[in-house]
Amino acid sequence: MRASREEYVKLLLEKMKAPDGGYEEGFTIPGTGESPPRTARSSSNLEKNNPLSLHDENPWTKWFASVDLRKTILQDVERTFPDIGYFRDSEVQAQLTSILFTYSVMHPEIGYRQGMHELLAPLYYAVDYDSIPDTAAIGDASLKEFCSRAWVAADAWVLFVSVMNGVGRWYEWQESKTVVQTSALASHVQLIIPSGDMSMKAYVAPIVEACNLVQSTYLKRVDPELWKAMQNAGIEPQIYGIRWLRLLFTREFDMHDAMIIWDGLFACDPTFDLALWICVAMLIRIRNKLIPSDYSGQLTYLLRYPTSQTSSQFTPETSLHHTTLLLRQALTLQMSPSPTTGVSVIHENKNLLNIPVEVPEPPPPPVPRRPRLSERGQSFSSDSLPSTSRAGCLSHRKQLLHCISLVDERPVTERPPWEPRTRFEMERDVSDMHALQKKLGDSVAWIVDTLLLDEGEGTPDAQAKTIQNRKREALECLSYVRDVLKGTVTEVEEERLISEEESKRRAKTKEQKDKERAQAASREPPTPNFPLRRLPFQLKCGRKPYQRAAHKIILLLVRLKDARLQPRCCSTSYSYGSRPALFIFPIRLLLHGPSSASI
């Protein structure tokens, strides 16, 4: 333990030192908390050791690359577990960044990859949770040294390196360089012949192989029905498997449940092969949601794993957490990968988690949209249109899809800073800004009018005192408007934009205007109820609902003042006074029916 802590300090001091012998501001030595001493330059050649030099051997080039790498790591660290306040602390973020940077420079074949910060964060949290401050009064010196809070970063680095020894292969992105063995003879004589298949194979990343193994081999062996449903839907295992395995399920479960799974992984299998069977057990647990769903439905369940239902079934009486059950099922499937074992896991989920065994029926397909009628009463489609019309329809459809802005369901605090906001959010912000500007404008207008009030020598004392009080309130409101414009106020309080007296006066004025508007509306003459006149032509009411509705509409139209329906041609049109009654045609369409040949 002491050797590993000293090794971490040595590596950190070596990798964080600038070519001029200095360190970044705020950097401290782990374990002591002191700032490292500044050392002299190793070389006085300014042509090479110069931040502005373009020489190929300039050490500042490597230093600037490491600075950029630390900035990239810090961006990911700042977004680590946004719902946990512990990881918002700047000191914790700095320590996590230093650990990840040290690992990346010590393992250049892997480097730093997105997702490593979510593996380190629970380890650092667990070590810090069990740490003991140096000022604590504990008699056992060895325990105090073992759990020293000053060495939390060094201990977390050791644990992270151990975890990455098993998980690091899932972060590999390029083929490793093979070492060619040579014989003791001359260079043109090679007697060492490699055994095995000599054919050339394309490089496949280990994470892709692991994902294919989960779905195409393990799942097919224990649950053929679920495998067939996912294959028919076209689900690729890399879509969900890369995140599940690289992050060790920290996105699918909360940190407390994920750490329970980690305890089982660390205790049972240091090679992390059990993680593949945990993926299989997770798929079997949501099989009732995956089998009846289509591609989009399965993708939604896989990328947003439904853990709320399983978490709610856990009670202290059962003494078996749903993640502990998941570990037990994964071990069972690993030891006996067969359809019988898969069925036993399904029934165990039914008994302990109340998950039904029967797969629900798939939802019915959407009802096809009723085709519109052309002017001749015939339905048309895109196939009956000319080629130019079809192209126009497709182009308009694409433009419409581009114009639609989908609303992001995630909170703004959980989104990466590089993701742009949607059009809906921007329009909403602009609308809110315009409303705020109007409120501030009304407030400033009242403030200016109040400050321009005259309190001359001829003004009575009581009135002059009232004017002074109003001006003082106006100045307070003006100060609040200034704070709003500077951005120091997040939520604007409308009652602070104007005085209480002005607010009451405006409310009273608004109430009076509403009352006057209601009185004016009540004084409007009522619509006369004219007697129903006999139509100059026979109106026959049909049996269908829309024909009866049209019959009632025409009877109501006759009640209007000076409404006279006179037939010019009994099968073409009607007139309303001297103007053509355009609104009569849809009613006539309802009377004749949509399938009439006379339309």
Apex 192 CA angle, 190 and 196, nearest 5: 135
Amino acid identity, position 97: T
Q: What is the pLDDT of residue 309?
A: 53
**Separation in Å, CA 390 to CA 396, 398, 402:** 10, 12, 19
pTM: 0.58
Amino acid identity, position 429: D
Mean pLDDT of the chain: 77
Q: What is the pLDDT of residues 528-578, one digit of tens each?
A: 554 544 444 444 445 556 566 666 676 666 655 444 444 444 443 444 444
Q: What is the pLDDT of residues 422-463, one digit of tens each?
A: 777 788 888 888 888 888 888 888 888 888 887 777 778 888
User: In sequence order, what are the residues at sequence separation of 6 or more whose Cβ sits closer than 8 angstroms to the Cβ of residue 280?
Assistant: 214, 218, 219, 222, 223, 330, 333
Q: What is the mean pLDDT of residues 47-70?
A: 78
Residue from 5, 3, 2 nearest 153 by CA: 5
CA distance 539 to 315: 72
**Percentage of the chain lying above the pLDDT 70 cut:** 69
Cβ count near 415 (within 10 Å): 14
| Beta bridge mates, 569 | 573
27-29-33-38 Cα dihedral, nearest 10 degrees: -70
When pLDDT is cut at 50, 70 and 90, the band that residue 18 belongs to is confident
The CA-to-CA distance between both ends of the chain, in Å, stands at 92
Domains, the chain, with CATH or none: 2-34+61-171 (1.10.8.270), 206-353 (1.10.472.80), 423-522 (no CATH), 545-592 (no CATH)
Q: What is the pLDDT of residue 260?
A: 94
Please give the radius of gyration of the chain, using alpha carbons only, rounded to the nearest integer. 38
Among 94-108, 111-125, 436-450, the range scoring the smallest mean pLDDT is 436-450
**Separation in Å, CA 81 to CA 55, 78, 93, 266:** 42, 9, 12, 22
